[in-house]
């Protein structure tokens, strides 16, 4: 121990002697430069924190009000397609759920095709149980309300809008898309401006909350969940093909 400690201080002394030999002045410049960089970084960090704390802090209080379903909706679902279609296709999804995004990317076009050609009647449940993942901005609820508003007043634009929402899906623990970004996507999908303006009324938020509760009370475990004629589809939801085949089989 004693010998080792001596060795250490010998090393230390050697180093100090080397610094002293340089006159100390050469060694001071890097320190000054370093301190300047450190101060610059601290200022930048504080600036960034303050800026991110002050932007996008629109209040998003939970909506309270009468439960009003969008017209055409039934039992918490938005119905699309011909009423006499042979297959009842139920999709439970939350716009914040990354796997719902993967599901939409794989099957969105296929589902639109099957609904369009009269094979399936889509029951789309816009759920909002992942509100806690958007840092207080309740992205799931805001997106679901926007979708319900589009369904209420421009139902033929729902699937394109739904697709765009998932294409631009925010990451978990981000603040989600802002209300303006959601409105931009709706306009891109061809939703008429008066309908887009109605997003802010949050008319369907109580309905979304109620149907979310009802879905989980009825035994739903997570999203995405897909049912074909009432049976949970157990196949691969994330590649193109298996779901389409199962729906086509159920249609025969």
Partner 1 sequence: MPSILARFRNLRHADAWIYGTMLFSACLSLLASFVLSIDAVRLAANPNVSLSCNLNAVVSCGTVAQSWQAQLFGFPNAFLGLIAEPVVITIAVASLAGVRFPRGFMFAAQVVYTLGVIFAYWLLYQAMVNIGALCPWCLLVTVSTTLVFATLTHVNIRDDNLYLPRPAQQAAARFIDADLDVIVMTIWLLVLALVIVTRYGTALFG
State the residues that interact with partner 1 by CB under 8 A.
Answer: 1, 4, 7-8, 11-12, 14-16, 18-19, 27, 30-31, 34-35, 37-38, 41-42, 44-45, 48-49, 51-53, 55-57, 94, 96-100, 129-130, 132-133, 135-137, 171-175, 216, 220-225, 237-238
Task: Provide the 10 A C-beta neighbour count for residue 214.
Answer: 14
- Which one, 32 or 83, has the nearer CB to partner 1? 32
By beta-carbon proximity to partner 1, the closer residue of 48 and 82 is 48
**Residue 94, SS3 per DSSP:** strand
Report d(CA 245, CA 234) in Å as an integer. 13
CB of 134 vs partner 1, minimal distance in Å: 8
Q: What's phi and psi for 128, nearest 5 deg?
A: -140, 75
Rounded CA separation 250/234 (Å): 14
Indicate the burial class of 86 (C-beta count within 10 angstroms; 0-12, 13-18, 19 or more). Answer: middle
Cis before residue 99, ω within 30 degrees of 0? no
Q: How far is the CB of 86 from partner 1 (least distance, A)?
A: 27
Nearer to partner 1, 35 or 75 (CB): 35
Q: Which is nearer to partner 1, 129 or 151 (CB)?
A: 129
Q: Which is nearer to partner 1, 41 or 240 (CB)?
A: 41
What DSSP line would sit under 158-170, residue for residue? HHHHHHHHHHTPP
Give the shortest CB-25-to-partner 1 separation in angstroms. Answer: 12
- Encoded tokens for 196: 């887009």
**Shortest distance (Å) from residue 28 CB to partner 1:** 8
Cβ closer to partner 1: 34 or 113? 34
Closest to 111 (Cα-Cα) out of 78, 144, 80, 157: 80
| In the complex, minimum distance from the CB of residue 172 to partner 1, in angstroms, rounded to a whole number | 5
- How far apart are CB 108 and partner 1 at their closest, in Å? 17
29-66: string of b/e by CB count within 10 Å (b at 16+)?
A: eeeeeeeeeeeeeeeeeeeeeeeeeeeeeeebeebeee
Q: Which C-beta is closer to partner 1: that of 103 or that of 199? A: 103
CB of 41 to partner 1, least distance (A): 4
Six-digit token pair at 2?
Answer: 């004693």
3-state secondary structure of 200: helix
């Amino acid at each position: 121990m004693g010998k080792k400690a001596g060795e250490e201080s010998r090393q230390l002394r050697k180093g100090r002697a080397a610094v002293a030999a340089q006159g100390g002045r050469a060694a001071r410049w890097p320190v000054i430069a370093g301190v300047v960089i450190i101060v610059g970084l601290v200022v930048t960090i504080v600036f960034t924190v303050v800026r991110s704390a002050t932007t996008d802090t629109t209040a998003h209080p939970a909506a309270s009000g009468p439960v009003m379903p969008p017209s055409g909706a039934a039992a918490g679902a938005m119905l699309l397609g011909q009423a006499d279609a042979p297959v009842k296709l139920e999709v439970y999804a939350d716009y914040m759920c990354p796997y719902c995004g993967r599901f939409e990317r794989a099957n969105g076009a296929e589902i639109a095709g099957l609904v369009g050609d009269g094979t399936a009647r889509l029951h789309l449940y816009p759920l909002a149980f992942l509100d806690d993942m958007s840092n207080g901005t309740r992205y799931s609820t805001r997106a679901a309300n926007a979708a319900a508003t589009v369904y209420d007043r421009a139902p033929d634009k729902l699937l394109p809008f739904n697709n765009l929402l998932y294409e631009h899906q925010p990451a978990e623990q981000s603040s989600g898309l802002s209300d303006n970004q959601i409105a931009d996507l709706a306009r891109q999908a061809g939703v008429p401006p008066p309908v887009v303006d109605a997003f802010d009324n949050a008319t369907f938020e109580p309905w979304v909350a109620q149907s979310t509760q009802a879905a989980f009370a009825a035994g739903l475990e997570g999203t995405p969940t897909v049912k074909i004629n009432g049976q949970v589809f157990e196949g691969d939801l994330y590649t193109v093909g298996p779901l389409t085949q199962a729906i086509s089989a159920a249609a025969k």
